[in-house]
């Protein structure tokens, strides 16, 4: 692939994607630089390492990572990208920051939950989320069914949102709007 170091490659595993119901895109991403030992369970035959990312390779051979596999929400058998939902929510004028996480649901498996940091002087609830998604023409099943308000999102030192912390907090309960 152009612009990649020697002995380095990225591959999207179609068979794994099919098993996860992710075909044709996005699909799980694996990398191989040829120098790892294969005794780690994160490796596949041929030295490919499971990154935990989901993405696509375009016609020019460039990889775009679209989400983390563990952040995919499986609602009623359909895979919903948390990143896609976040990208739409952050365009709402009341939303300063957002992270989308799955919450367990006995009937559907998981539901879409948005943890929202509202802009100063604003609030945000599930009705506003529904209206925003409808106005954008987004699929109804991608609309957050639960909105949790937060003063800030927990982050790692490098700035990544700690979704594991949000999932744990959600299990303990939080201020929210929705069913």
Domain ranges in the chain are 9-70, 72-177
pLDDT band at 23 (very low <50, low <70, confident <90, very high): very low
Mean pLDDT, to the nearest integer, of 51-69?
Answer: 76
pLDDT band at 16 (very low <50, low <70, confident <90, very high): very low
Mean pLDDT, to the nearest integer, of 40-66?
Answer: 72
What pLDDT score does 57 carry?
77
pTM check: above 0.75: no
CB-count burial class (<10 Å; 0-12, 13-18, 19+) for 108? middle
Write down the CATH number for the domain with range 9-70. 2.30.38.10
Q: Which two tokens stand for residue 57?
A: 């390779």
What pLDDT score does 132 carry?
98
What pLDDT score does 46 carry?
66
Please give the residue that has the higher pLDDT: either 56 or 107.
107
What pLDDT score does 92 carry?
98
CA geometry: angle 138, 77, 141, nearest 5 deg: 20
- pLDDT at 48 > cutoff 90: no
Tell me if domain 9-70 and domain 72-177 are identical in fold.
no
Q: How far apart are CA 93 and CA 48, in angstroms?
A: 42
Rounded to whole angstroms, what are the CA distances from 44 to 33, 75, 120, 125?
13, 28, 48, 43
Mean pLDDT, to the nearest integer, of 65-69?
Answer: 73
Q: 142-177: per-residue pLDDT in tens? A: 999 999 999 999 999 999 899 999 988 887 765 455
What pLDDT score does 19 carry?
45
Q: 126-146: per-residue pLDDT in tens? A: 999 999 999 999 999 999 999
CA contacts within 13 A on the Cβ side of 115: 24
Pick the CATH number of 72-177 from 3.20.20.80, 3.40.50.2300, 3.30.300.30, 3.90.420.10: 3.30.300.30
pLDDT band at 15 (very low <50, low <70, confident <90, very high): very low
């Amino acid at each position: 692939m152009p612009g990649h170091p020697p002995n380095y490659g990225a591959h999207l595993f179609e068979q794994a994607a099919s098993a996860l119901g992710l075909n044709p895109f996005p699909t799980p991403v694996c990398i191989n630089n040829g120098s790892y030992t294969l005794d780690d369970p994160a490796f596949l035959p041929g030295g490919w390492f499971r990154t935990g990312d989901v993405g696509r390779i375009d016609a020019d051979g460039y990889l775009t990572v679209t989400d983390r596999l563990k952040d995919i929400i499986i609602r009623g058998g359909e895979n919903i990208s948390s990143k896609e939902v976040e990208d739409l929510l952050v365009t709402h004028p009341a939303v300063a920051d957002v992270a989308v996480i799955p919450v367990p649901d006995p009937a559907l498996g998981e539901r879409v939950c948005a943890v929202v940091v509202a802009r100063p002087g604003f609030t945000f609830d599930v009705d506003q989320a529904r209206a925003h998604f409808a106005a954008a023409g987004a699929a109804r099943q991608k609309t957050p069914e639960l909105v949790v308000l937060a003063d800030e999102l927990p982050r790692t030192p490098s700035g990544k949102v700690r979704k594991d912390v949000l999932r744990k907090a959600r299990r303990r309960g939080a201020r929210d709007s929705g069913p």
